Structure 1
Amino acid sequence: MSGRPPLPSNSSHDGHNTPYGDPFADRPRQTQFQEPARAYDSTTSLQRPFESTASLVPNEFGGQGGSTYSDDESVEKLPLTSGETVGHPGGFYPPSANPNAYGDPYARPLSAASSTNGVDTAWRRRQTIKRGVTKKVKLTNGNFITEYPVPTPVQSAIEAKYSQTNTTEFSHMRYSAATCDPDEFTEANGWSLRTKMYRRQTELLIAVTSYNEDKTLYARTLHGVMLNIRDICKTKQSKYWKRSAEEGQPGWQRITVALIVDGLEPMDKSVLDILATVGVYQDGVMKKQVDGKDTVAHIFEYTTQLSVDATPQLVLPHGDDPNNLVPVQIIFVLKAKNEKKINSHRWLFNGIGKMLQPEICVLIDAGTKPGHKSIYYLWEAFYNDEHLGGCCGEIYAQINGGRKLLNPLVAAQNFEYKMSNILDKPLESSFGYVSVLPGAFSAYRYRAILGRPLEQYFHGDHSLAARLGKKGIYGMNIFTKNMFLAEDRILCFELVAKQNDRWTLTYVKPSKAETDVPETAVELIGQRRRWLNGSFAAGVYALVNFFKLYKSGH
């Protein structure tokens, strides 16, 4: 015993007793994650939660070539949400690491506004932290496409008559990290969507576009859409939907909802909570890059029977209640960058639409609440008129039972909306041409807008400016740029004047939708400045190009 070397002194470790110390060891043991020799600071490049597996750096904390442990994979999956980790005193943060360095998938500097935004901060902290253990994932035709199990409560909420299937439609959420332009999102390039994989014919493609709307407005729109889908599938007015169910393809399989968010950075992160509740979104699965290519859009797919209303209250199916919601096929497209609304429509028409080939596309802005059976009435107009290329319903102002009419700005806009719906649109509709189908609530026949109408429409897309050259937004004069402030008017004219075709536009009175209107002078002036400039320029464009009607089939 006298020849035994002396025990190591704890004082050599800055006077702190380590819980991992072994008094009978010849040298002190290391913690699972040994602090590297260099110091950490808030600017240190730490592993980001959404980096692809192909671009992960070697384990900075001893994953490769360092100490090995019995269960590295289980350690990697532990969420790092605070300085302390369950079961491990002292936590896994290096002494000088900045916890705020974790969680932001796009590594933006924290502004004064964002740093005080509790919702954004909470969302960032929820993202899974990669521990540095490199995993190789087999890509699908060179693309990152994978499935994740949905939470058990979400899956168990689906009625048994729908969930008894051999597919993973109700048990797994599908995620695709799209690294391509919307025009290149095709099957030839290895991309796919569940609806196409299941070989389902799409009759209705309903698109909800959003920017920074809060969860109340978003839930208001999404729940209204789901109620409309239920009414369509259970209606007794249409032989088409009844026959569809009898032929073996239920009505809900012919309807797809596309939720397109214009940029991860500006969006209200509380909307993601709504989508996670219904099973369409999950934290910590997004990839910033795949094989060195930046992700352009994060695409989530799931078929859900859950909804959240504007209260907000979770809406669940109950037994054999005839008022239960039907399953809804949802494609959630979360764009990595803010590219404006027209780019969102390019994802809809050139990306999703080209793959699904729907008959009718319905456009709705987040915050607009479709009324009872309003989407059905739009579809019915197309079904009864084979030459109808586009239509819109009545949009009325949200007045909260008349209380908002005490605001003169709201009262004036309410009067304007009513006069437009009573005088303008019915008169224009009688001639087969409506000067503008509002983007907040309108519908188009997909094959009618293919070709020149969409080509002219997408000239205003900023992301195409370099490709289009002088025809793009950077090569336009001031008049043309003003015209693209009301690009939906251009689409309407080009649709009616399409060569060798005789498409018409109409106004559908029974179809109604409620929207919120500006309540302050600043908001109203900003909106009307854009509308007036755009409508005047588009009106001049229609007059100058009137001769194109002679080349159409009218």
Structure 2
Amino acid sequence: MHGDSRRRLDLPDFRGREIEAAGPIAERIAPVWIPAPVIGAEANAEPGHGLAPLEASSQSALAQQDALIESGFKNVVCMTLYNEPLELLRTSLSALLVSIDAQRTSAPGMAARSCIVIIADGRDRAHAEILRFFRHAGLIDTGRSFSALGETVHLSRQRINNIMASLGVDGELTGEVSFAICIKNQNRGKLHSHALFFQWICPALVPDLVYQLDAGTVVEAGAVSKLVAYMADEPDVAAAASRILTPTPGGGASTLSVWQYMDFVMQKAVTWPTEVASGYLSVIPGQFCVFRWSAVSAPSSEAGGERPLDAYLRGLNAVAPLERVMFLAEDRVFGNEIVLARDKSWRIGYCPEAEATTDACDTFGELLRQRRRWQNSALAVRLWLWGHVPAYLSRRDKGVFDKARFSASMAWQGLLTASEVMSPAFVVLLLLAAAGGLIHSKNAAEAAVVGGMVVATGGLAWLTVANRTSRWQFWLSVARDAAATLSVVSLLGLALYSNPFNQAALLIAPVILMALVIAASMPGQRWAAPRHLPLYLLTDRLISFALYGYALANVHNVTWGTKGLTDDAGDHAGEKRRMRRLRNIVAGSIVAVDAGLIAIGLNRPGVFIKSESSVIEAFTLLFLVVAGVAAATWAASALRSLPTLGRALFALFPRNRGREAPAARPVAIIGATRPV
């Protein structure tokens, strides 16, 4: 949620070498920090400044840990801010501190030294209350610091209890955490903040795992520990996504909230597991994810070879129109560079046990701007990636298995893209076929009842599209959900009654399959998600149609305009003309495809429309294929977990307890039940 930047930057090259400097950082910022050299480091504080007041015993304990901190951090978490209010930072930071502190009890033998890096993108854009919090907590202006990219990075070590108290959050947490705070002098874009973090701060902190966390995302208490365990168990995983959902809708939730929640549920239950099985997770969500520092910072063995990190940060100087659209979702680009990296077959993983809740868009306008960035960048990344398929298949550093896996993942991405591109045409044909089926129905009474319930659902969904404080909101939402459930049940019953069994089965199978997949793969959401599934099924195509149309009409728009942000990058007229030309090519091609499909469906009924329900059949067929692949993926994953479950049960109930060593059983249990 950051302002976009178009200024060109020449970044320093850190591949395979240390940064030159006047002296080691440890000589200037105390032994709490790693003795790695940093350009332009400054000492601007007296010893002890910037630390929360501690008792003598606590100071002694911290001093004893200084030597350990010099060897590096286990976790370094990056949070970037633009104009978010303090409340968003409070909820995210307090939950993160709880999750970091939980490592002491959940994994006592695990190295858990952590540092939280917060970068505010522009002093004049940062919320005044956040700046006051930084000062009150002693995170800036009173501690040690060093310079990077012309900005000042403030370093300090704090007790978690003190930070929680400064945030106004109750809690009895006894751990410590380090902070690196940077308030940039002016807004220079989110990617510039990532360059500051990855190219300057991380080499100084020497982390093992690097996280990204959005302000507004709340991680559950065990999320950090679970990601640490997951990365330890999967040494070939370079980055991993967590399971991120919007808040679970309550009884009076708006249609907008329900749709966003279900859209995230469908992604986590269907799309992501299938992508992981195909070998390529198309997005590493910046809302909450983890990277293995050794993977993203390792240089290629080729002369002049780039690290994945270097290729990712080329977006700062991106001038090609397609690249500018790609970097609207820089997390997708980062994943591409990791998968395409030479000399190592890295994977992108998914750890559904690590859960987080992110904030949803409050208005339809915000949702339009958010999905415009997401959808356009996803399409641009796929186009760019398909252009690299021939070169990938001819590479000598990739084996047959890597190439087969990459080809399968590209085929799956093609299937998803085809469903997106053809969706507008199918929506139009679906509405025409549904209207014709109701008008010319053999049983007018049945058609009137079903049509009336569908119309009622649409009207109630429109009345409750946004959250309102009206006393009628709750009851209108309840009536909407009831009408949606009755509509779906009636449509399924009508399909069974009015069509041959094979046609009816094709209509019903996707709904049942989706409910089963969600129930099996989404623990904790097994009641909420199926409950809202009928409303999602009835409204998804129409909402997606509006979002997709808006995205296509604004392919040329490369601003980060989600929550009131504006384009202040000062683009030249020539660049804007090039972006509009790209918009005309991409949007024009997709509109032409959909117009052709609609024309074929209307003029040649034998192709799409053999009966009133055949358009619905054609529309659900592609969805059924996607759902079927997802179900097969989940089933295969469940079967692979059976041996682990068997070993765990065997360890719990050994045949001969007398012959077993006393310490062997706990080790066996832990090893058998570790998340995979």
Q: TM-score, normalised by structure 2?
A: 0.48
- Would the aligned equivalents of 1:389 and 1:495 in 2 still touch at CA under 8 Å? yes
CA gap 1:220/1:166 in 2 versus in 1, 3 angstroms: closer
More helix by share: 2
Question: 1:216-227, aligned counterparts within 5 Å?
Answer: 216-227=87-98
Deviation at 1:542, TM superposition (A): 1.3
- What pairs up with 1:362-373 in 2 under 5 angstroms? 362-373=211-222
Distance 1:295 1:445, change over 3 A: closer
Secondary structure of 2:282 counterpart: coil
> Matches of 2:123 and 2:233 in 1, distance apart?
40
For the pair 1:493 / 2:336, whether they are aligned, the reply is: yes
Equivalent-residue separation in structure 1 for 2:285 and 2:386 (angstroms) = 20
Partner of 1:444: 291
Whether the aligned pair in 2 keeps the contact of 1:304 and 1:330 (CA below 8 Å) is: no
Tell whether 2:362 aligns with 1:503.
no
Aligned to 1:206: 77
Name the SS for the 2:207 alignment partner: coil
Deviations 1:34-83 (A, max 9, x none): xxxxxxxxxxxxxxxxxxxxxxxxxxxxxxxxxxxxxxxxxxxxxxxxxx
User: What SS is found at the alignment partner of 1:267?
Assistant: coil
Distance in 1 (CA, whole Å) between partners of 2:76 and 2:154 is 16
TM-fit CA distance, 1:532: 1.3
Aligned match for 1:457, one of 307, 312, 335: 312
Q: CA deviation at 1:307?
A: 5.0
3-state SS in 1 of match to 2:44: strand
Q: Is the 8 A contact 2:144 2:155 kept in 1?
A: no
Taking a change above 3 Å as real, the CA distance of residues 139 and 229 of structure 1, as seen in their structure-2 partners, is closer
**SS of residue matched to 2:226:** helix
Superposed displacement of residue 196, structure 1:
9.1
1:424 aligned to 2:320?
no
Instruction: Confirm or deny: 8 A CA contact 2:283 2:331 kept in the other structure.
Output: yes
Query: How far, CA to CA, are the matches of 2:126 and 2:332 in structure 1?
Result: 27
Q: Corresponding residue for 1:543? A: 386
1:437 Cα deviation from its structure 2 partner: 0.9
Is 383-392 or 336-345 further displaced after alignment?
336-345
CA distance in 2, matches of 1:432, 1:297: 40
Aligned to 2:366: 523
What residue number does 1:484 align with?
Answer: 327
In structure 1, the partner of 2:168 is 313
Quickly say closer, same or farther: Cα 1:146–1:304, change in 2 above 3 A. Answer: farther
Gaps of 5+ in 1: 1-137, 170-194, 245-250, 318-323, 462-471
Q: Distance in 1 between matches of 2:345 and 2:206?
A: 21
Normalized per residue, which structure has more strand? 1
- Decide whether aligned partners of structure 1 residues 148 and 412 sit closer, same or farther in structure 2, where only a CA change above 3 A counts: farther
Matches within 5 A, 1:339-488: 339-399=188-248, 402=250, 406-450=253-297, 451-461=306-316, 472-473=317-318, 476-488=319-331
- SS of the residue 2:181 aligns to: strand
**Equivalent position amino acid for 1:535 in 2:** A
Alignment of structure 1 residues 89-168 onto 2, 5 Å = 143-148=41-46, 154-156=52-54, 161-164=57-60, 167=63
Equivalent position amino acid for 2:90 in 1: A
Is contact 2:219–2:356 with CA below 8 Å preserved after alignment? yes
Query: How far is the alpha carbon of 1:382 from its aligned partner?
Result: 0.9
Contact 1:436/1:488 (<8 A) preserved: yes
TM-score calculated relative to the size of structure 1: 0.58
Q: How far apart are the structure 2 equivalents of 1:355 and 1:496? A: 26
Map of 1:276 onto structure 2: 135
Residue pairs, 1:73-92, within 5 angstroms: none
Name the CA distance, whole Å, in 1 between partners of 2:127 and 2:236. 40
> Cα–Cα, structure 1 residues 216 and 198, in superposed 2: closer, same or farther, change >3 Å?
same
One-letter amino acid matched to 1:146 = N
Distance 1:310 1:496, change over 3 A: farther
Which amino acid in 2 is paired with 1:490? V
Deviations 1:211-248 (A, max 9, x none): 1111111011111111111111222xx4xx51x5xxxx
How far apart, CA to CA, are the structure 2 residues paired with 1:357 and 1:420? 34
CA gap 1:269/1:150 in 2 versus in 1, 3 angstroms: farther
- Contact 1:219–1:274 (CA under 8 A) maintained in structure 2: no
Evaluate the alpha carbon distance shift between residue 196 and residue 220 of structure 1 in structure 2; reply closer, same or farther with a 3 A threshold.
farther
CA contact (8 A) 2:51 2:156 kept: no
Shift of the alpha carbon at 1:201? 2.4
Indicate yes or no: 2:182 matched with 1:333. yes
**Take 1:201 and 1:407, find their aligned partners in 2: how far apart are those partners?**
46
**Aligned residue among 265, 287, 299 for 2:124:** 265
Structure 2, unmatched stretches of 5+, are 1-26, 30-38, 298-305, 403-676
User: Does the residue aligned with 2:79 lie in a helix, a strand or coil?
Assistant: strand
Q: Deviations over 1:153-193 (max 9, x none)?
A: 9414x6x6532158599xxxxxxxxxxxxxxxxxxxxxxxx
TM-aligned CA deviation for residue 197 of structure 1? 10
Give the partner amino acid of 1:162. S
Distance of 2:60 and 2:95 partners within structure 1: 27
Cross-structure match for 1:297: 152
Equivalent residue pairs, number? 354
